[in-house]
Amino acid sequence: MSAQEQLGVKAQTVETNVDRGSGNLKWRHFKGKILTVLGWFSIVFGLGMLLVLILDVVNKATGIFSGGTNWLTWEFFNNFDSRFPARAGAKAAIYGTLYTITLTILFAFPLGVAAAIYLEEYAKDNWFTRLVEINISNLAAVPSIIYGLLGLQVFVRWFAFGRSILAGALTLALLVVPIIIVASRESIRAVPSSLRQASYALGATRWQTVWHVVLPQSIGGILTGSILAVSRAIGETAPLITIGALTFVPFLPRNLFDVFTVLPIQIFNWTSRPNDDFRALAAAGILVLLTILLTINALAIYLRNRYQKRY
Amino acid sequence: MAVTDLRKPINPVRAIGERIIQIALLLAAAVSIFTTAGIVFSLIFETIAFFSEVSIIEFLTDTEWTPLFANQRFGIWPLVSATVLTSAIAMVVAVPLGLIAAIFLSEFADDRVRRTVKPLLEILAGIPTVVYGYFALTFLTPLLRNFIPTLSIFNSLSAGLIMGVMLIPIVASLSEDALSAVPNSLREAAYGLGSTRFEVAVHVIFPAAISGVIASIVLAFSRAVGETMIVAIAAGQNPRLTFDPTVPVMTMTSYIVQVSLGDTPYGSLSYHTLYAVGFTLFLFTFVLNIFSYWMVRKFREVYD
């Protein structure tokens, strides 16, 4: 076979391929269009489910679309739980959530921020620091119900706090501390080191620098992250059920060692009663819970914008 | 000449104060170690107590789980099968939708869409799981029963599907991070060779980010395994070894909830079963988390 022939054959092959390619080009671009449509579909599907969920809960709670009974009344906020749906309310649960979460913040916020300050400003690169870091990333992935088992053993039994608000708040605090640490570290790390060096040059000690320079600069991010951690704690049900928070509490807790219930547990309890009226009450509880969470998240977004970095 | 550390105070009283603060901060950081130790020890402690009463052979080979009945049987498999079944159903929803959303957001959508959609999708992950459980039981199950008349009121199908919706943002968000982290030079090179947008995304960027993508899927699976309220509300309380998604089952987490709702005396056998089941659950999620971590480390493509 001559060189020309070889070339000819090759040229032909190339041509055919080019032909095939351009014939396919529309199809090749069309595949991209299909993916775009599927991408929009996934997003619309996810957000659509969210919308359906909210509309369904609003309707079941207030009967606004189906013309049913409105359960989200003054009595709902002002009555204790009852065996009769018409007399049942979420007062104990709402107060229980308020007390538990306040305590959780008191424990978790200083602890989380202090750990973050240590890791960012003080820690040397040694085995202790690495161990702490591995533990934090591991703890963030432990199922929340396992924290409940920890709380049951350590706070309820060993510390003998009983099935109390204190035990519940400590359990939730351990659950959210890793979230606060991660968010706070990120925010502290974003403070430029020139500010620290300027502070040291003025004769400030390490802690003076942290307290007067680093913390004021990073407080926006720390607060935002902590608020998101709190909203996680407000919605948690499983760990509190595990430590033995009660499902039926017809009174307000009087002290730290009193038994308690919280809004998510009240919702769970009403949902598990096979009675449409109680399920409607559960929907009213969900509406209250989602409103609280939405407000808190809006606050977090507001703070994030307010303290936006100006370097 | 010796270098003086300017951060060290000259005043000796202040030096002591600084030292105390530093130790306090260190202790705060050490709480994470105590927490892990607390989890591991309390689980192991009570699990050993459990296995002093029940043989580990029975735990691993029996096919029935009836510790609260007169005829006590302690086979973990019915709880494990239910956990795997509900999680697998969740993955069927979350993986395709999450991955397509991630590819779309990272490679096709413009910046404005990405910045609007990502936080919106993350609302899904922020809804309390008790709310999802309510929705599965009172909305999705009645709806599905129109199409599948044999579907029980409590079933793993509804629970799994709703759990899948909850996990979409986890898969989407983490995979999107992995895809966006692939350097632009790879995209430019692929476009330079005449690839279309689809080919760049699917044949170049996706394979380059595969370790992060798999890690996101494994993490979502681990979440599904540990998820409690959705399955406790919507999947039932009936421990049985089955992969039929239409009947009531009981996951490991549902069992812990069921026992916790009752009055469980400290040190009783049913108290110990909580920890034996909890330990099994912990091992499952621990292995999955380690695998996901290892996946990222081992198969990460390094481009610098």
Chain A environment of B257 (Cβ under 8 Å): 145, 238, 241-242
Could you report the per-residue pLDDT of A28-51, keeping only the tens digit for each? Answer: 889 999 999 999 999 999 999 999
Question: Looking at per-residue confidence, does A184 or B73 come out higher?
Answer: A184
Do residue A52 and residue A84 come from a single domain?
Answer: no
Per-residue pLDDT, A64: 81
Reduce the secondary structure of chain B to three states and give it as a string.
Answer: CCCCCCCCCCCHHHHHHHHHHHHHHHHHHHHHHHHHHHHHHHHHHHHHHHHCCCCHHHHHHCCCECCCCCCCCECCHHHHHHHHHHHHHHHHHHHHHHHHHHHHHHHHCCHHHHHHHHHHHHHHHHCCHHHHHHHHHHHHHHHHHCCCCCCCCCCHHHHHHHHHHHHHHHHHHHHHHHHHCCCHHHHHHHHHCCCCHHHHHHHHHHHHCHHHHHHHHHHHHHHHHHCCHHHHHHCCCCCCCCCCCCCCCCCHHHHHHHHHHCCCCCCCHHHHHHHHHHHHHHHHHHHHHHHHHHHHHHHCCCCC
The residue type at A290: L
Per-residue pLDDT, B129: 95
Within an 8 Å CB–CB cutoff, is residue B278 touching chain A?
A: yes
Per-residue pLDDT, B303: 65
- Whole-angstrom distance, CA of residue B220 vs CA of residue B223: 5
Within an 8 Å CB–CB cutoff, is residue A246 touching chain B?
A: no
Chain A environment of B9 (Cβ under 8 Å): 205
Residues A257, A162: contact at Cβ < 8 Å? yes
Chain B environment of A60 (Cβ under 8 Å): 138
Tokens encoding B288: 């999955």
Among B92, B32, B96, CA closest to A179: B32
pTM of the predicted model, to two decimals? 0.90
Point out which residues pair with B74 in neighbouring strands.
Answer: B65
**pLDDT class of B302 with cuts at 50, 70, 90:** low
Do residue A88 and residue A152 come from a single domain?
Answer: yes
Within an 8 Å CB–CB cutoff, is residue B49 touching chain A?
A: no
Segment B151-173 shows an average pLDDT of 95
- Whole-angstrom distance, CA of residue B256 vs CA of residue B283: 15
Contact across the interface for B274 and A136, Cβ inside 8 Å = no
Among A42, A38, A51, A40, CA closest to B98: A42
> Exposure string (b/e) for B154-192, b if CB count within 10 Å is 16 or more?
bbbbbbbbbbbbbbbbbbbbbbbbbbeebeeebbeebee
Q: Which CATH class is domain B77-299?
A: mainly alpha
Within an 8 Å CB–CB cutoff, is residue A268 touching chain B?
A: yes
Could you report the per-residue pLDDT of A57-73, keeping only the tens digit for each? Answer: 999 988 888 877 888 88
**Quick check: is A275 in a domain?**
yes
Could you report the per-residue pLDDT of A262-282, keeping only the tens digit for each? Answer: 999 999 999 998 888 899 999
Q: What ipTM was estimated for this complex?
A: 0.91
Could you report the per-residue pLDDT of A244-266, keeping only the tens digit for each? Answer: 887 777 778 888 888 889 999 99
Chain A environment of B45 (Cβ under 8 Å): 153
Do residue A195 and residue A91 come from a single domain?
Answer: yes
- CATH code (residue A125): 1.10.3720.10
Give chain B's radius of gyration (CA, Å).
Answer: 25
Could you report the per-residue pLDDT of B164-176, keeping only the tens digit for each? Answer: 999 999 999 999 9
Closest chain B CA to residue A271: B134
- Burial class of residue B295 (count of CB atoms within 10 Å of its CB; 0-12, 13-18, 19+): buried
Within an 8 Å CB–CB cutoff, is residue A52 touching chain B?
A: yes
Do residue A106 and residue A241 come from a single domain?
Answer: yes
Within an 8 Å CB–CB cutoff, is residue B139 touching chain A?
A: yes
Which three-class secondary structure state does DSSP give residue A309?
coil
- Neighbouring CB atoms inside 10 A of B17's CB total 14
Residues B226, A145: contact at Cβ < 8 Å? yes
Per-residue pLDDT, A12: 45
Do residue A138 and residue A91 come from a single domain?
Answer: yes
The residue type at A305: N
- CB-based contacts of B5, cutoff 8 Å, min separation 6: none
Tokens encoding B35: 């927490």
Chain A environment of B103 (Cβ under 8 Å): 35, 39
**Quick check: is A311 in a domain?**
no
Output DSSP code: residue A141: T
Could you report the per-residue pLDDT of A190-220, keeping only the tens digit for each? Answer: 999 999 999 999 989 999 999 999 999 999 8
Per-residue pLDDT, A196: 94
- Whole-angstrom distance, CA of residue A203 vs CA of residue A14: 75
Do residue A109 and residue A55 come from a single domain?
Answer: no
Query: How many domains does chain A divide into?
Result: 2
- CB-based contacts of A40, cutoff 8 Å, min separation 6: B104
Point out which residues pair with B65 in neighbouring strands.
Answer: B74
Do residue A123 and residue A7 come from a single domain?
Answer: no
Could you report the per-residue pLDDT of A85-99, keeping only the tens digit for each? Answer: 878 888 889 999 999
Q: Residue holding tokens 């969740």? A: B90
Chain A environment of B39 (Cβ under 8 Å): 142, 146-147, 149-150
Do residue A105 and residue A152 come from a single domain?
Answer: yes
Identify which of A38, A146, A237 has the shortest CB distance to residue B128. A237
Within 13 Å, how many C-alpha atoms sit on residue B222's CB side? 26
Could you report the per-residue pLDDT of B94-139, keeping only the tens digit for each? Answer: 999 999 999 999 999 988 998 888 888 888 888 999 999 999 999 9
Do residue A100 and residue A229 come from a single domain?
Answer: yes
Contact across the interface for B43 and A136, Cβ inside 8 Å = no
**pLDDT class of A17 with cuts at 50, 70, 90:** very low
**pLDDT class of A23 with cuts at 50, 70, 90:** low
- Neighbouring CB atoms inside 10 A of B232's CB total 31
Listed by number, the residues of chain B in 158-197 with a beta carbon closer than 8 Å to a beta carbon of chain A are 165, 168-169, 172, 196-197
Residues A108, A229: contact at Cβ < 8 Å? yes
Contact across the interface for A52 and B139, Cβ inside 8 Å = yes
Chain B environment of A136 (Cβ under 8 Å): 32
Domain that holds residue A15: 1-68
Length of chain B, in residues:
304
From A311's Cα to the closest Cα of chain B, the distance in A is 22
Within an 8 Å CB–CB cutoff, is residue B42 touching chain A?
A: yes
Per-residue pLDDT, B287: 93
Among B97, B131, B203, the residue to mutate for chain A (most A Cβ within 10 A) = B131
Among A212, A309, A244, A266, CA closest to A96: A266
Of the residues A52, A68, A84, which one is the last residue of a structural domain?
A68
Tokens encoding B83: 């956990």
Do residue A227 and residue A284 come from a single domain?
Answer: yes
Do residue A251 and residue A195 come from a single domain?
Answer: yes
Do residue A150 and residue A8 come from a single domain?
Answer: no
Mean pLDDT score across all residues of chain A: 87
- Burial class of residue B133 (count of CB atoms within 10 Å of its CB; 0-12, 13-18, 19+): buried
The residue type at A234: I
Chain A environment of B217 (Cβ under 8 Å): none
